[in-house]
Amino acid sequence: MSEVDFLNSKRVLVVGAGNTGKSIIDYLRNNGSSFEIYDEQIEEVDGFQVSSQLNGKYDFAVISPGWRKTHPVIARLSESGTKLISEIDLAWLIKEKLSPNQIWVGVTGTNGKTTTIQMLESIISKSDLKGIACGNVGFTVIDAVTNSEKFDVLAIELSSFQIEWSDLPRFAAAAILNISDDHIDWHGSFDSYANAKIKLLTQSEVAILNLSDPEIALRTSALNMRKVYYGLDVPQPGELGLVEEVLVDRAFVSSPNSAEVIAELMDIKPAVPHNVSNALAAAGIARVLGISHPVITKGLQDFKLDHHRLELVKTQNGIDWVNDSKATNPHAASAALSSYLSVIWIAGGLAKGAKMVDLVHRNFSRIKVAILIGEDRELIASELKKQAPHVELIYLDKTGSSEEFMESIIIRAKEIATEGDTVLLAPACASMDQFKSYSHRGELFAAAVAKLV
């Protein structure tokens, strides 16, 4: 009997009835397991009743991402002797049973995870391997493992929540793109957040690491494993980097003096610095998988950025309107701001405990006007007042629907934008105080621009 089949004879609790919880429920139901569901906000899912109370003692609890280990319910389950297992750990056990030869690779970071994992998926699609992007994007990992199509490779985007909860998976390669303030409210401190990211490497054979990120360099220096660094400078032997207008591999080559072309800058769209960096990380993982350089080139050429990530919505009268609603933290917003020279910046929302000092310090010279919205907008405003008092601040409050609010933002931006400006939605914050999600926020931005510009 496999370890995952052992669940059939035990009392199992699914904690969390969101998208990941549904995938867990589907697997347990199809596997003939007996289970109950706990959630504090959802009352029913897929015909199953959801309880907001614990009913006795459980043998196993499968935890969806986002539940803090210090949550009272998690603490009670742990104290009662319930074995806690994460969604990622359960997916690994299922994989060991159904597809033991399947290879897992992972990507994490404060910013750029989705772009990098989708670049990697594009590369894999041009190769002889069958692979899919999953995890914190697209399919849940459980759905990918149990899919009727058997994949050779799972390219998994991993949040800090998923990593902190998981111990069982083993990755052929894992990339850490960057580490900066995010989800401090969940982890309790920046140190705990950063350590969750680094933990992924303890479960990996090869580390693909951003050479220009000081936190990564500091926190990985003592790790005894193969580390491949990448950056936007000329690469040293064993690194990936940039030589003039060419992305170059000096890590996965026949000798230290050798080099291979990964792609040209013109192959990366848009060829802004952080996107080129993401391409190097994806290429590094692809090389671990044995994918050739020409195939990597083709995969990068055919890749298009996801919606809500530096998405050019419209150009009118010399003014670009750009949707980067997925910039839900300062690091992501900084990458967006650094891509333009004169910005009407729409920012604000829920900061999740993040600080705005570095974001403003690095980019204030690019900001012409800041249109500030949302609950934590004063965090941004106070830094702009200190570091860039010349920047005009406009405060807009939500009074009607989300649609009406976004239209009021676009009307105000249209009044002040002139030729050569970029109106950029890169909020540096989460959206839930004013919108349903970052995608809802971005969709309303695009719709308002189409209607009013």
- pLDDT tens column, 281-328: 999 999 999 999 999 999 999 998 877 788 899 999 999 999 999 899
Model confidence band, residue 184 (pLDDT cutoffs 50, 70, 90): low
Predicted local distance difference test score (pLDDT) of residue 202 = 94
More confident residue, 188 or 412: 412
Residue 394: its H or E element: strand 392-395
What backbone phi and psi angles, to 5 degrees, belong to 14? -100, 120
Residue 194: its H or E element: helix 190-199
**Residue 178 reports pLDDT greater than 80:** yes
**Residue 256 reports pLDDT greater than 60:** yes
Q: Helices 293-301 and 113-125: crossing angle, nearest 10°?
A: 120
Nearest residue to 115 (alpha-carbon basis) of 297, 262, 274, 245: 274
Give the CA-trace dihedral at 40, 43, 48, 53, to 10 degrees: 40
Rg (CA), the chain: 23
Predicted local distance difference test score (pLDDT) of residue 191 = 81
310 backbone φψ class: left, alpha, beta (φ>0; ψ -120 to 50): left
Model confidence band, residue 171 (pLDDT cutoffs 50, 70, 90): very high
- What single letter denotes the amino acid at residue 370? A
Predicted local distance difference test score (pLDDT) of residue 182 = 59
Percent of the chain with pLDDT over 70: 97
Predicted local distance difference test score (pLDDT) of residue 181 = 57
Q: Give the span between the Cα atoms of 452 and 421, in whole angstroms.
A: 17
**Residue 186 reports pLDDT greater than 70:** no
Decide if 271 contacts 235 (C-beta within 8 A).
no
- What single letter denotes the amino acid at residue 187? H
In this prediction, residues 194-202 reach a mean pLDDT of: 90
In this prediction, residues 63-83 reach a mean pLDDT of: 87
In this prediction, residues 152-178 reach a mean pLDDT of: 93
Query: Beta strand pairing status for 246-249 and 239-243?
Result: antiparallel
> pLDDT by residue (tens digit) across 421-450?
999 999 999 999 999 999 999 999 999 999
- The single-letter DSSP state of residue 349 is S
Model confidence band, residue 452 (pLDDT cutoffs 50, 70, 90): very high
**Residue 1 reports pLDDT greater than 80:** no
Decide if 98 contacts 4 (C-beta within 8 A).
no
Q: Please provide the distance, in angstroms rounded to a whole number, between the alpha carbons at the two ends of the chain.
A: 63
Nearest residue to 215 (alpha-carbon basis) of 58, 12, 358, 62: 358
Can you state the percent helix, strand and coil of the chain, rounding each to 5? Answer: 40, 25, 40
Model confidence band, residue 183 (pLDDT cutoffs 50, 70, 90): low
In this prediction, residues 32-40 reach a mean pLDDT of: 88
Percent of the chain with pLDDT over 90: 66
**Residue 203 reports pLDDT greater than 70:** yes
Model confidence band, residue 55 (pLDDT cutoffs 50, 70, 90): confident
> pLDDT by residue (tens digit) across 110-155?
888 889 999 999 999 999 999 999 998 888 999 999 998 999 999 9
Read off the tokens for 216. Answer: 């990564």
Predicted local distance difference test score (pLDDT) of residue 187 = 56
